[in-house]
Structure 1
């Protein structure tokens, strides 16, 4: 691939993942860190995202090199039965994200319309935003979808600059707001790591189509790091100054009006499309032969229905649950691929009980480290311990640790 082609592909993935990060849900997540204060909050945001982005880039490289989806890459370590388990977990988190994105966007859009037209249209906004996500899915991945996504990202970038100016017009005042406490730094760090971790099962769904592993992975990582950190910091600033992470009131107070609605709706549609589409990819690994687009459309429908009946009170717990599942999972996958050099999917491997046991231990350790409130958080020690443990026992594993139920064996 020539340098011009690599540059174009880098820009495409940069804009794609920047757009994925620009969302009301990420602004709300940044607002949760307000008890840390401005300086400590920003430190937690930057450090947490840096940790998560390193993992995101590595998973993207696997996808582009091997031409497989992120969930399919887990088959290298866990076998085909392992893929079924993690596909189900991934579909659940993606449907959950779809609902959360719709809820957060609808709440903000409803606040705007309340101030503009004194009407409560929450359910209408939930249905409308869900419908737009379905329309985005219907456009498909090729041609028009790419152009529409690029145009949306440009608009989002301009509008986000305006929002940033409103929030940070008195940066010195923000830095002087005292931390109210109630949240250890380690918890803020984990809430920052969790957001890029939530994309680990998705990134290769897009980089698998790339011509250059390096340009696609680094474009994705840089785009998401910039966009997500930016959203978190906006949410942190809004929460410190206004007492809530919802930016709708600030945008309306600045007479943005319909522009505020544009930020909310565009950001939600471009991001939640990726959640629903990847849910379709994951589900198709459970039922090969099904059309990914049709499944994605169905997942968007389920997410919209859930948005009508659930709330966001458990948002923080949801983020930590994502970290607990996917940090040890991809620690094993990355250790296998980059350290142990196991890069081939073995059709005869149905279940790697060793990998599943180490993963289960990693999930338990994650919550134990959270309870201990270590200064470095839970993700880093879990990644290190799970990787070392799997590398050590994986090298000396006996054949009985694997369940190899190939057609040849099962026919005997």
Structure 2
């Protein structure tokens, strides 16, 4: 694929700008209120720097190889081995689709006194419309929508901070600093299996990937801080209620609904791209439509108010996965699929997964992700060197 016909740096920035302006990001930010402003801000920044570096690494591989995120995974887990992560990725994307629609519908319903199921249906239909337009049309519309959304978020931030005084939330140890860092890492980490779906089409692979990762992390941090500040200084965690209470009315609804649609579109779109890797008979757009419908129905039927366990699950699966991928690509220089299964790397990933789950029960400095990923990368390099040594001897 020629890079001359690919997407621009600005276009990639817009896509990830839209991904970061999310109700889920603001809701996650509310968990930080008990840390206090300075400690909470420190955890948010540290986590996003770590997550942003990982996001850049994952996106760069796809951009250089011109492959989707899940296609790059085949180079270190084998053709069938990668199927495990493709399925897990589709599962997490269905989960994100449902969570995003649920958050948007609950917020809109609380602000306007209507049934959340109605708003879930409205949001689901709008996402289907975005999917019909496609990525090219989405980017054009996204330029206008994102500018409006960002201005509204700036207004929201001003409303919160201009009226701030004493924190209404007591500072305690209900959220440890290491867990706070982990929650900050987890959000960019959740995009690791998706970023190459967009950077693979970039004209300038390095610049577009860097711009994507930086844009996402900067705006995501802003969203987190809005959520944290809202919880601290207003005692309100429902952002739609905060906006309507401040007199924003329809503007508040606009922010809630369209930020949900633009972010969830990416989840559904990437679920379709990942589904194509399962079988040549699966059409990406059709799979994305199915994911949207399933997510909408789930949002109508099941409560999804606390997503911390879901974020930690994503970290435990995809943190070790990207560790194996990064070590294989940048240290071992492996590029091609080596067979149906690469059992050495699958076992290394499993060790990393177990290590993450165990470390999650401990109050590790800087959270479990760095430690589990470090262990996984070291083991990947060791296994790779041992295999290379046996090949030379043979």
TM bucket by the smaller chain?
Answer: over 0.9
Tell me the residue number matched to 1:410: none
Equivalence for 2:138: 145
Shift of 1:398: 7.6
**Residues 1:122 and 2:121 aligned together:** no
- Any residues of structure 2 matched to 1:101-116 within 5 Å, and which? 101-114=100-113
Counterpart-to-counterpart distance in 1, 2:64 and 2:287: 26
Q: Deviations over 1:30-79 (max 9, x none)?
A: 11222222211111111101101101111111111111011111100000
Provide the C-alpha distance between the structure 2 equivalents of 1:89 and 1:132, rounded to a whole number of angstroms.
26
Q: Please report how far the alpha carbon of residue 290 of structure 1 lies from its aligned counterpart in structure 2 after TM superposition.
A: 2.1
2:155 pairs with one of 138, 159, 162: 162
Q: Deviations over 1:260-312 (max 9, x none)?
A: 00101110111000000000111111121322111111110111011111112
> Could you give the per-residue CA deviations for residues 328-360 of structure 1, whole angstroms, max 9, x where no partner exists?
0000000000111112234xx110111111111
**Structure 1 residue ranges (4+ consecutive) displaced by more than 6 angstroms after TM superposition:** 398-401
Given the alignment, which residue of 395, 398, 403 partners 2:385?
395
Match of 1:230 in 2: 222
C-alpha contact (below 8 Å) 1:64/1:210 kept by paired residues = yes
- The residue aligned with 1:289 is 281
Q: Which 5+ residue runs of structure 1 have no aligned equivalent?
A: 115-119, 402-412
- Check whether the contact 2:169–2:235 (CA below 8 A) recurs between aligned residues: no
- Is the partner of 1:168 in helix, strand or coil? helix
Q: Quickly say closer, same or farther: Cα 1:229–1:140, change in 2 above 3 A.
A: same
- Check 1:177–1:145 CA distance in 2 against 1; reply closer, same or farther (3 A cut): closer
Identify the residue that residue 48 of structure 1 maps to in structure 2: 47
Residue of structure 1 in register with 2:129 after alignment: 135
Match of 1:371, SS state, is: coil
CA drift of 1:227 comes to 1.2
In structure 2, C-alpha distance between the alignment counterparts of 1:294 and 1:245, rounded to whole Å: 36
**Matches of 2:60 and 2:384, distance apart in 1:** 23
Q: Distance in 2 between matches of 1:68 and 1:358?
A: 24
Cα pair distance change 1:342/1:106, threshold 3 Å: same
**Aligned equivalents of 2:197 and 2:220: distance in 1?**
19
State the number of aligned residues. 387
RMSD: 1.9
Deviation at 1:10, TM superposition (A): 2.1
Alignment of 1:10-409 (within 5 A): 10-114=9-113, 120-142=114-136, 144-170=137-163, 173-174=166-167, 178-346=170-338, 349-397=339-387
Following superposition, the deviation at residue 193 of structure 1 comes to 0.4
Tell me the TM-score normalised to structure 1 length: 0.90
TM-score for the superposition, normalised by structure 2: 0.94
Deviation at 1:254, TM superposition (A): 1.1
Q: d(CA) in 2 for partners of 1:167 and 1:353?
A: 52
**2: distance between equivalents of 1:89 and 1:23?**
23
